[in-house]
Chain A
């Protein structure tokens, strides 16, 4: 279905309506099907090139003697501060992680902020302190930036864009197209913590134990993992749309079926409780400090050992396998039944009864 629309969009790059609506709706930004269709319909036809065609978290530019990874991300999280992080540290971790998923050692970041008139300076300073502290911890300088102010009501406090560049060691290639049937699928830890933390603050929900965002830079975890398993097929950072969106993207990109066991996916009790209450699936909630790894069967042991020996990957597990078959994502339940994994249609909506 989406494929049919993509073809039409590519043949006629005049931005056909990607949803029933002829306006941008929030679902276009939720990282799932509607986001992909917006890009396929209104962005890629205008900007088509070999780097964008990879549909990766960043681009890798061949400079002759070295290879440069380049990525950018914009942060609009509300509230600006949440348990386990704030928009500033998130803006560093998100871009560092996109670079890491390209197999790059981060070199430098840029930071552009859009501030809304009336924002307390104290808030701005606190966010910048968080951003600076996060950059210091990963030892990557913010080397350039920009500041704009918009009228009150035209923004939501602060929007931040960060871009990052990094160096990719010779021989490393983690493009989604490399995933092949037979690859195993690993996750580095419990999923959905960031999404659940932000949602529970936004909805004013208090749980017995506070849910903290997993926001964390993964460049060191990835370096160790790629040293142990240089043949790694692909790494993905399950941010918007969560693990569900990653599995769908990879199934489509690899033209293969993905099957995983839902009982194997690690979810903390607190996140599970929040999801039960809000009617959400932890697999569709964003992570900001986890990775999904696709790796040949023969390297699974080495990859898990490497991940588990690092503090950020202690709870790493294998959840499934890529198979020959139609591009779709299949869940094997603990009952032995099989079903499709739904791709969230838009922003997570609470169920009503």
Chain B
């Protein structure tokens, strides 16, 4: 498979790991932003290859993980309405809100469905005009254009029974929030390649400059991550701080101009609570006023019955900021497992806690995955 095999070639990967170790004179702490990258690191054991050299910290980069409990509770409340079909991406259905998850709601009779694309949700609305189809839109800037396109198409086709519960988050403000927290341990970021495929790198330039922090836009295969790490180490060793692109096969500095324009037309930037991190200024997207008629929050009065509750022992917030390694949480692998998760990073296949639980020999005490 082209674009896959060459980035998984063991010989090249081992050479790249040796190169990182050769260049690093200190135990630099480098945070990969995206959960897909975290998953690759642990599944391939890149952390094992780099042991004793740089330390890889895992960032907040799983949009499922950072979706607020309040949003989930609202989705659960909407799903409980007899006239609503709630539609979302698969991972979202297993994330616990204050009281249960959407799969549980489905088992109790709610109409909850999984799609691969928001356009499928729109088609469902066209096919079933008597139902209110609500799409729970999660994701970074990567998935926002597809949602924007579905909304634009719904407006053009006059689909009145389609609405969107928008939980989109933006990456750059979160990098600033992480870097600004008092216990920040990050020396450099590996930014998410797919986000920059859409958005380009212009938002990252001022962050690198003002925070004196190297940012390397990096891909998702093992070799990508080691090459990205090597570029970050090179900047750190020279005392530089700029944006480099490792993921050149997909990212252009200007991004996808058409997709960016579409996102700008449909959405506006808002402050948004990130689960575990708190309200991130400019950290989310909401529908712009001219598309407010597709906003499920305005269309339905449902609010969660009680204040959102986070499980007390779960330290997802510290994990999402890279301040705590997942196995250092008291609940990890004990009261919190992928099948009975307390916090979102244990739910999503891209969450850092789930990746440690699934892959790390050293950190799972009894019988591995149960």
B339 touches A (CB below 8 Å): yes
Whether B91 lies near A340 (C-beta < 8 A) is no
Known: A335-B14, A339-B360. A349 touches B90 (CB 8 A): yes
Whether B44 lies near A26 (C-beta < 8 A) is no
Within A78-100, which residues are at the interface with B (CB < 8 Å)? none
Within B37-59, which residues are at the interface with A (CB < 8 Å)? 42-46, 48-49
Whether A25 lies near B107 (C-beta < 8 A) is yes
Contacting residues, chain A, for B143 (C-beta < 8 A) = 352-353
A345 touches B (CB below 8 Å): yes
Interface segment, one of B151-159, B261-269, B361-369: B361-369
Within A299-353, which residues are at the interface with B (CB < 8 Å)? 326-330, 333-343, 345-346, 349-353
Known: A326-B366, A340-B358, A350-B90. A269 touches B139 (CB 8 A): no
Known: A23-B108, A349-B94, A353-B63. A335 touches B13 (CB 8 A): yes
Whether B359 lies near A33 (C-beta < 8 A) is no
What residue in chain B is nearest A329 (Cβ atoms)? B368
B340 touches A (CB below 8 Å): yes
**Distance (Å) between the CB of A84 and the closest chain B CB?**
22
**Distance (Å) between the CB of B18 and the closest chain A CB?**
12
Contacting residues, chain A, for B45 (C-beta < 8 A) = 333, 335, 337-339
Contacting residues, chain A, for B104 (C-beta < 8 A) = 20-21, 23, 25
A352 CA to B95 CA, complexed, in Å:
13
Within A169-209, which residues are at the interface with B (CB < 8 Å)? 203
Contacting residues, chain B, for A248 (C-beta < 8 A) = 368-369
Whether B370 lies near A33 (C-beta < 8 A) is yes
**Complex partner residue of A353 from B48, B139, B368, CB under 8 angstroms:** B139
Whether B42 lies near A339 (C-beta < 8 A) is yes
A247 CA to B140 CA, complexed, in Å:
36
B4 touches A (CB below 8 Å): yes
Whether A327 lies near B116 (C-beta < 8 A) is no
B103 touches A (CB below 8 Å): yes
**Complex partner residue of A350 from B49, B89, B108, B140, CB under 8 angstroms:** B89
Whether B366 lies near A24 (C-beta < 8 A) is no
**Distance (Å) between the CB of A209 and the closest chain B CB?**
13
A14 touches B (CB below 8 Å): no
What residue in chain B is nearest A272 (Cβ atoms)? B1
B92 touches A (CB below 8 Å): yes
Whether B100 lies near A33 (C-beta < 8 A) is no
Whether A352 lies near B194 (C-beta < 8 A) is no
Known: A350-B114, A353-B142. A1 touches B337 (CB 8 A): yes
Contacting residues, chain A, for B368 (C-beta < 8 A) = 248, 326-329, 340-341, 343
A266 CA to B240 CA, complexed, in Å:
46
B350 touches A (CB below 8 Å): yes
Contacting residues, chain A, for B13 (C-beta < 8 A) = 335
What residue in chain A is nearest B93 (Cβ atoms)? A349
21 contacts between A and B (CB under 8 A): A1-B333, A3-B370, A19-B340, A21-B100, A21-B104, A21-B107, A23-B107, A27-B339, A326-B366, A328-B367, A333-B44, A335-B14, A337-B48, A339-B360, A340-B359, A341-B369, A349-B349, A350-B116, A352-B92, A352-B143, A353-B36
Q: Lowest 10 A-B CB distances belong to which pairs?
A: A337-B45, A328-B368, A342-B358, A349-B90, A2-B370, A23-B107, A352-B89, A343-B369, A1-B370, A339-B359
For the complex with contacts A1-B367, A339-B45, A352-B139, 16 further pairs of A-B residues with Cβ separation under 8 Å are A1-B334, A1-B370, A3-B370, A25-B107, A26-B103, A33-B369, A276-B1, A326-B367, A333-B44, A339-B42, A339-B360, A340-B359, A342-B338, A345-B338, A352-B64, A352-B92
